Structure 1
Amino acid sequence: MAETRLVQGRYRLHDVIGRGGMGEVWRATDESLGRRVAVKCLKPLGPQQDPNFMKVLRERFRREARVAASLQHRGVTVVHDFGESDGVLFLVMELLEGHNLSQLLDENKQHPLPVQDVVDIAEQVADALAYTHRQGIVHRDLKPANIMRLGDGAVKICDFGIARLGADIGFTSRLTGTGIAMGTPHYMSPEQISGGEIDHRSDLYSLGCVLYEIATGAPPFDLDDAWAVLVGHRDTPPEPLRTRRAELPDYLDRIVLDLLAKTPEGRPTDATDLRRRIVSARSVPVSVSVPVPVFTPLLREPEVSAPAPRLPSWARGMTTGHKATAGSLAPAARGYDPAAGLTGEWTTGSGVVRAPEPTAAPSPTTGPPPEPATAPTTGPAPEHTPGLSPELPAVLAARHRAGLGLGRLGRWDEAEAVHRSVVADRERVLGPDHPDTLTSRYEWGFALGRLDRPTDALREFHRVTEARERMLGADHPDTLAARQETAYLLGRLGRHFEAHDVYAEVLVSRERTMGQDHPDTLRCRHNLAFNLGRLGRLEESYRMAREVAEARGRLLGADHPDTLVTRYEVAYTLGRLGRWEEALDGYREVAATRATVLGADHPDTLATRYEVGICLGRLGLGAEALALYRELTEARGRVHGPDHPETLRARHGVGVNLGRLSRWEEAVAEARAVCAVRERVLGPDHPDTLISRREVAVGLGWLARWDEALTAYHEVAEARARTLGPDHPDTLTAREDEAHCLEQLGRPTEAAELHRGTPSPRHGNGGQRAAP
């Protein structure tokens, strides 16, 4: 194909960005939709080729297109279209900007990846495999070159070129019967090598090989002879990872060795089970080094000797192919690796930015937040340190990845400082509009948001949005991601009308360019539904959230975290509509699923159970609510400690429901104890502290201790006027509480005077979640 070729009158080819043994990948423009895409073309073969070989190659490509086009998951490369043009088969995919795991190891000079990156990659790949396996699809060639890490840390599986439908065994057998080996020796499962039955657990074995390599720097059987590698997979127990890299956590060693069990029955049941193990284990803190640490080079494993190994005849002439370890390709050859299929270097930039789900459940006082896209601090960025090596871009990339790792561990202060410094250095070295500079600025903004500095974060996202729109266009996915994050921050600042306009514009663009069921489109619709609720348009919010939950359940599965976040939002909106029984059923279902998938003590599970308690209280089931909040207090204390805000929120629920049961002396004592801790931990004017102080006043009123109640209400009103302003709805509510106390004390003139100076609250409790 000539570079100026317009394929099917729609796809304008620009330049080759990846080559492999079967074809090449072009950077292209979909002129119908105005979006950048990657077009993967099957390499035309001359008439001297065996017609049977040609037939199998074409059939495999067509099957790849049909299978890949059916997949819609953020961890799988999105396929937009496929067809044939002048005898050349082609596949149109989203344009990925990042590097595959093979290239990451190459850039890391043969050293393994940081531990937190290995764990994060494992979790994301497991999530994607869980989805594809539910569709009955097995990849069969999972290897580092087929797993992409985007610039924002998101991971995607590429090239389902030899995937097969689980029920279509006979057709696959015909393909393999041609003598074309399916798989790469360093990552093939024992049953794949022996020609046995293949199912989803073969992919789990291959993933174990990939994780072994990125965690230690070498595959489990690091040999140059393909025959010896295959015998090693079949007969030799792999060496524990920690014997090669001592600082690896024990749980990671166990998980990878379980994946490398010789029989499918010895491995995790499925990818969902694997992901559950990873999520549970990664809650243990893992150390992070900045930049990427350097490890002692690994020694090769000794030659494996096996007496007369019985392997398939096709394995006799097999070569080892390309391993993920660095240094195996000369610089001039990189990007053209016949053994890597069509998944060599896809792009050179790293500008695509993610829109992740919340890492923890939202605070029950405000309902689930919209889903942020990913975040800095004010003040001048630090000057670049003199004396950095000439390989500065690689050093900056490593520092950028370290910042992402710190964020994933919740160490946002450190992540913010790293991203801020990388922004300064990348801006100086690469320029302010370079994709890498903008990616770092995006992450800086995200960290600022997580540090509760939305104004500073909004400033950075405005800069990213303007630059990307200028450089890439208004409909580019990177531009839309930045705009969506801008809308999220506008919502956090209470500017919901502005947020609505931005969300609505982004949604129209995403639906037009990506389709209604693309994960990013659904994320935008989720956020728009949330924002509609904040605008009081509850019926619209409910309908949209329900549609998103149904779509996510269909595409990702009922127990996927994205699905559960939206089902949580549906239940929340039902509560705001006063449909408490339906809300209770919804929360209970989400809580039960989260307990199964994440564990009973996971913060998301506990947050959902808190909402169950709110519904119970609203339905007059105070005794059940009281028992639940006592259990929550114990669980939160065990997980977070007795003074953690979430533990105190659960204790607050205990006090409220004691009051609902008319046990007012106990209720006042509990409220006072919680208020004292909140004042010490959060400060006297913190909203949670003031809520507890008001709860003390409510109890004192029920006990007819009106003088004491008046003092507490007055303190709350003064603090809210000071922090929120005299006309804020919460301040006005507190003044009305004061007036009520004065009336009970027989001081009607003062009460009337306070009423005259206090207009009725315009918005109830200011949009905050009602007390439990």
Structure 2
Amino acid sequence: MAETRLIQGRYQLLELIGRGGMGEVWRARDESLGRHVAVKCLKPMGPRHEQSYLRVLRERFRREARVAASLQHRGITVVHDFGESDGVLYLVMELLDGRNLSQLLEDNKHHPLPVPDVVDIAEQVGAALAYTHRQGIVHRDLKPANIVRLADGTVKICDFGIARLAHDIGFSTRLTGTGIAMGTPHYMSPEQIGAGNVDHRSDLYSLGCVLYELATGAPPFDMDDAWAVLVGHRDTPPQPPRELRPELPEPFERVVLDLLAKDPAGRPEDAADFLRRVLAGHPERPYRDGTSGHLMLPGPRTALRDRTRQNEPPRLPGWARHMTTGSKAAGTGPLQPPPPDPADQLTGAWTRSWTTQGGIAGTEHPPPPARLTELAGRHSEGLRFARLGRWSEAGEVHRGVVAERERALGPDHPDTLASRYELAFALSRLGRTDEAMREFARTAAGRERALGADHPDTLAARQETAYVLGQLGRHFEAHQVYAAVLAARERTMGPDDPDTLRCRHNLAFNLSRLGRLEDSYRMAHEVAEARARVLGPDHPDTLVTRYEVGYALGQLNRWSEALRTYREVAEARARVLGPLEPDTLAARYEAGICLGRLGRSAEALELYRGLVEDRTRAQGPAHPDTLRARHGLGVNLGRLGRWEEALAEARDVCAIRTRVLGADHPDTLVSRREVAVGLGWLGRWTDALAVYREVAQARQRVLGADHPDALASRNDEAHCLEQLGRSAEAVELYRQVAALRQTRATRGAP
């Protein structure tokens, strides 16, 4: 490839940065987007292969590259593009500013890394593997050289799909006739050596080898002879790490030795199981859910969600909760923190150009490297707070770093803008939407000046601005921004790029908020089909869009179609994510809503009974989603005329919601109203009136006298007065409600 400096008229090769058994890696410039990327050029396939074989090989390459490009997780290197040029297969990936673990060990003179660093790397790699394994993807060549730690501490796995491609191109991980294995024998699982069945547990064995080396300074079978290494993997128990490094925690040693079990059945069940075992010995660390990127605390999987949910605004449909380019769409759980801002990758080039460009306006001298390192550390600290859901602390840290980076580097430096982006995200999670919008707008404007209007980082910030506009109810403005961002993404990235599809997904939801229900449904349906084609029908992103197709069908009163869609999504999520995952349970809950709307209350009741049991087991009895399922159960008991049972269920749910969410929380008030409904149906109208008035007063206090929910409660109160024969009071109350509605309509409020 040395003589080929331009690939496909787009990627200008600038500098060879790596060479391996399968080819070369170049730092390159994407001339279309004006950004630096890494281009991996696989070895020429040569004339020795049959043309029919080469056609099959190219198709396999496209398949594997497409799978790699579909992966959307902060712990996995992004694949931007792939193709063939002059007989050479190439992958275009994000250019990482960091060192792989092999280089870190060399930098450390092959001394072991500090224990907190090893545990941090274990947690991040485990989270990425949990995500990919849930997609049915196995790495097959996990080793220190394929794991990169960025300057901000983020860890990324590289080269997904490359090991399978190596096999297709002619490399093999099986023993040759001379007894030597191709590949990297120090990290190979026994089943790879023996040509056995390779699944996700092979990656766990390789991870055990990597962690053993990081913790002790050498891999478990550190011999020069390749055959001896392979025999060690196959037949020899590894020396316990604490014999080499006594200060290692005993629980950590135990989990590493479990990873290195010869029999795959003796290893952790999956990467999520591995994470739980690691963090059981380090309870101060968060657990990152491998499927969605959500962070969990060790022990009960509900602790963090319970804490963050209490401070969230009223629950919105799924599109509203996932309209963010900073996180992957992941069903109905809480938003995950955004991945590290890609603009961070430009820091090195920006700093190196300081002297040649005369510095940055407002600064006289470049800041000392130690100062920049300190600010990078504080930025990472803010990201760690975000991972824990500690949004207030994350926001304060990022606010301070923004101010100091702006003074030291200038307002449009990528590092300054990266911290401003994180500040805006934290403000959004705290419900401080006006402030969040201002910070996202400033980030977008700065990136447009520094990087260009169509740069992916600029578009990411603009898309977040649109999301916050939607939070503020300014849906027409949000629509305009989404439409502009979508046009730019389609022009620069193509219609099937995952970020393009995510923007279309968000735009579809915003259309529904504008009352354009048919347009919203059509666009959501198109996005679901595109994601199924690009990512696969069972990919979590495909399923989250299909989930929203069901929501759109419900808005259009097409309940039978919505029911079928939700059931299909629930079945697919059960296969891919597991039957007790929150996203699976959410789809089942929506199917229950559809059954109720269709008058099939007996079926809905049975569904909700099972859902309450499963949510209690998976999320806990006081979790908001468990209580929501119990509320649905009570409603359907009432629909079946079982009012004594319905009233008891409503009272119990109301009491728990009051304790967990607060007396004036919208969900609590919904349950309190359901108590009044049950009292009314049982003929206890005086008691019902008292409860209806409590709900009406609370909604007026929290939402305002003319809010639709407050007006509906006043109507409930009037109806109750009628049932008690107090018609004059009822008429007066109806008149007041009508006057407030007229005033609201005159004002143009929605």
Coarse TM-score class (shorter-chain normalised): 0.7 to 0.9
Give 1:356-375 correspondences, 5 Å limit.
366-368=316-318, 369-374=321-326
Do the aligned partners of residues 558 and 67 (structure 1) sit closer, same or farther apart at CA in structure 2, a change above 3 Å counting? closer
Gaps of 5+ in 1: 45-49, 53-57, 291-354, 377-387, 765-772
**What are the within-5 Å matches in structure 2 for residues 201-600 of structure 1?**
204=203, 207-209=206-208, 211-213=210-212, 216=215, 218-221=217-220, 223=222, 225=224, 227=226, 229-239=229-239, 254=255, 257=257, 260-262=260-262, 274-275=270-271, 277=273, 286-288=282-284, 366-368=316-318, 369-374=321-326, 391-424=370-403, 426-427=405-406, 429-600=408-579
Q: Distance in 2 between matches of 1:573 and 1:176?
A: 57
Partner Cα separation in structure 1 for residue 741 and residue 278 of structure 2: 46
Note closer, same or farther for the CA distance 1:442–1:283 as it changes in structure 2 (3 Å cut).
Answer: farther
Q: 1:498 to 1:213 in 2, by over 3 A?
A: farther
Cα distance 1:218–1:391, how it changes in 2: closer, same or farther (>3 A)?
farther
- Which residue number in structure 1 is paired with residue 184 of structure 2? 184
Provide the rounded CA distance (Å) in 2 between the counterparts of 1:484 and 1:527. Answer: 9
Question: C-alpha separation between the residues in 1 aligned to 2:265 and 2:378?
Answer: 40
SS of the aligned residue for 1:164 comes to helix
Following superposition, the deviation at residue 618 of structure 1 comes to 1.9
Question: What is the aligned partner in structure 1 of residue 723 from structure 2?
Answer: 744
> What secondary structure does 1:155 align onto?
strand
Corresponding residue for residue 165 of structure 2: 164
Q: 2:685 aligns with which of 706, 721, 746?
A: 706
Aligned AA (2:420)? R
SS of equivalent residue, structure 2 residue 15: strand
CA RMSD of aligned residues (A): 4.8
Cα shift at 1:212 = 1.8
Q: Which amino acid aligns with 2:124?
A: D
Distance change in 2, residues 1:111/1:186 (3 Å)? farther
More off after superposition, 605-614 vs 172-181: 172-181
**Number of matched residues?**
664
Deviation at 1:450, TM superposition (A): 3.1
Preserved CA contact (<8 Å) 2:524 2:549: yes
Letter in 2 for 1:372: T
Structure 1 residue 672 corresponds to structure 2 residue 651: yes
- Stretch deviating more after TM superposition (220-229 or 458-467): 220-229
Q: Which residue is equivalent to 1:119?
A: 123
Question: Match of 1:322?
Answer: none
- Once the 2 structures are TM-superposed, how far is the Cα of residue 177 of structure 1 from its aligned partner? 9.7
Judged with a 3 Å threshold, the aligned counterparts in structure 2 of structure 1 residues 684 and 126 are, in CA distance, closer, same or farther, namely: closer
**Partner of 1:221: helix, strand, or coil?**
coil
Aligned pair in 2 of structure 1 residues 222, 468: CA closer, same or farther (>3 Å)? Answer: farther
After superposition, the C-alpha distances for 1:470-516 in whole angstroms (9 at most, x for unaligned) are: 21122222222222222222222322222222222222222222233
Distance in 1 of aligned mates of 2:175 and 2:8: 29
Identity, % of aligned pairs? 56
Return closer, same or farther for 1:144/1:463 CA change in 2, 3 Å cut-off: farther
Q: Matches of 2:153 and 2:719 in 1, distance apart?
A: 55
Distance (whole Å) between structure 2 residues aligned to residue 506 and residue 756 of structure 1? 47
1:248 shift after superposition: 6.4
User: Are the aligned partners of 2:323 and 2:506 in contact in 1 as well (CA < 8 Å)?
Assistant: yes
Alignment check: 8 A CA contact 1:358 1:371 kept: no
Q: Work out whether residues 545 and 566 of structure 1, in 8 Å CA contact, stay in contact via their aligned partners in 2.
A: yes
Residues of 1 paired with 2:28 and 2:139: CA distance? 25
In 1, distance between residues paired with 2:274 and 2:555? 35
What is aligned with 2:355? none
Partners of 1:399 and 1:632 in 2: CA distance: 43
Residues 200 and 270 of structure 2 are in contact (CA less than 8 Å); yes or no, is this contact kept in structure 1? no
1:454: Cα distance to partner? Answer: 3.2
TM-score of the aligned structures, taking structure 1 as reference length: 0.72
Task: Give the Cα separation in 2 of the matches to 1:191 and 1:684.
Answer: 58
Q: Which has the higher contact order (CA 8 A, sep 6+)?
A: 1
The answer to whether the 8 A contact 2:77-2:93 is kept is no
Q: Is the 8 A contact 1:587 1:609 kept in 2?
A: yes
Measured in 1, the distance between the counterparts of 2:222 and 2:710 equals 72
Unaligned runs of 5+ in 2: 49-53, 296-304, 327-336, 339-366, 746-750
Opposite residue 143 of structure 1, the aligned amino acid is K
Structure 1 residues 233 and 405 mapped into 2: Cα distance closer, same or farther (>3 Å)? farther
Quickly say closer, same or farther: Cα 1:423–1:173, change in 2 above 3 A. Answer: closer
Mapped contact 2:202–2:264 kept (Cα < 8 A): no
Alignment partners' CA distance in 2, 1:609 and 1:568: 11
Alpha carbons of 1:649 and 1:289: their partners in 2 closer, same or farther (altered >3 Å)?
closer
Kept in 2: contact 1:73–1:519 (CA 8 A): yes
Aligned partner of 2:70: which letter?
A: H
- The equivalent residue for 1:379 is none
Q: Which residue of 2 aligns with 1:80?
A: 81
Partner of 2:341: none
Alpha-carbon distance in structure 2 between the residues aligned to 1:646 and 1:404:
27
Indicate whether 1:96 and 2:104 are aligned: no
Q: Which has the higher helix share?
A: 2
Matched to 2:451, the amino acid is L
Q: What is the letter of the counterpart of residue 317 of structure 2?
A: G
Please give the alpha-carbon distance, in whole angstroms, between the structure 2 residues aligned to 1:286 and 1:593. 34
What secondary structure, in the 3-state scheme, does the structure 1 residue paired with 2:270 have?
helix
Distance in 2 separating the partners of 1:734 and 1:624: 29
Contact 2:722 2:730 (8 Å CA) reproduced: yes
Q: Does the 8 A contact of 2:505 with 2:524 survive in 1?
A: yes
8 Å contact kept, 2:181–2:193: no
Q: Distance in 1 between matches of 2:202 and 2:127?
A: 14
Contact residue 547 and residue 566 of structure 2 kept, 8 A? yes
1:431-473 C-alpha deviation (Å, 9 max, x unpaired)? 4433333333333333333334333333332232222222112
8 A Cα contact 1:83 1:90, kept in partner = yes
2:701 is the counterpart of 1:722: yes
Q: Give the residue type in structure 1 aligned to 2:156.
A: V
Deviation at 1:659, TM superposition (A): 1.6
Q: Provide the C-alpha distance between the structure 1 equivalents of 2:24 and 2:179, rounded to a whole number of angstroms.
A: 19
CA-to-aligned-CA distance 1:28-57 (integer Å, 9 cap, x gap): 1323x555544456899xxxxx999xxxxx
Task: Name the CA shift for 1:139/1:430 in 2 (closer, same or farther; >3 Å).
Answer: same
1:625 aligned partner? 604
Instruction: Give CA-to-partner distance per residue, 1:183-212, whole Å, 9 cap, x none.
Output: 234334456667x57956696267425642
Q: What displacement does 1:614 show?
A: 1.8
Q: Deviations over 1:612-659 (max 9, x none)?
A: 332232222333433443444444445555444333323322332222
Q: For the Cα contact (< 8 Å) 1:77–1:156, is it kept in 2?
A: no
2:634 is aligned with 1:655: yes
Deviations 1:63-112 (A, max 9, x none): 99756644432345425355557xx9684614334435425667898335
| Structure 1 residues 630 and 23, CA gap change in structure 2 (3 angstroms) | closer
Q: Residue 436 of structure 1: SS of its match in structure 2?
A: helix
Q: What TM-score does the superposition give when structure 2 sets the normalisation length? A: 0.73
> What is the CA-CA distance between 1:605 and the residue it aligns to?
3.3
1-structure distance, mates of 2:5, 2:587: 54
Give, in angstroms, the shift of residue 601 of structure 1. 3.9
Q: Is the 8 A contact 1:241 1:253 kept in 2?
A: no
Measured at CA, do residues 610 and 145 of structure 1 come closer, stay the same or move farther in structure 2, by a change above 3 Å?
same
Matches of 1:592 and 1:285, distance apart in 2:
35
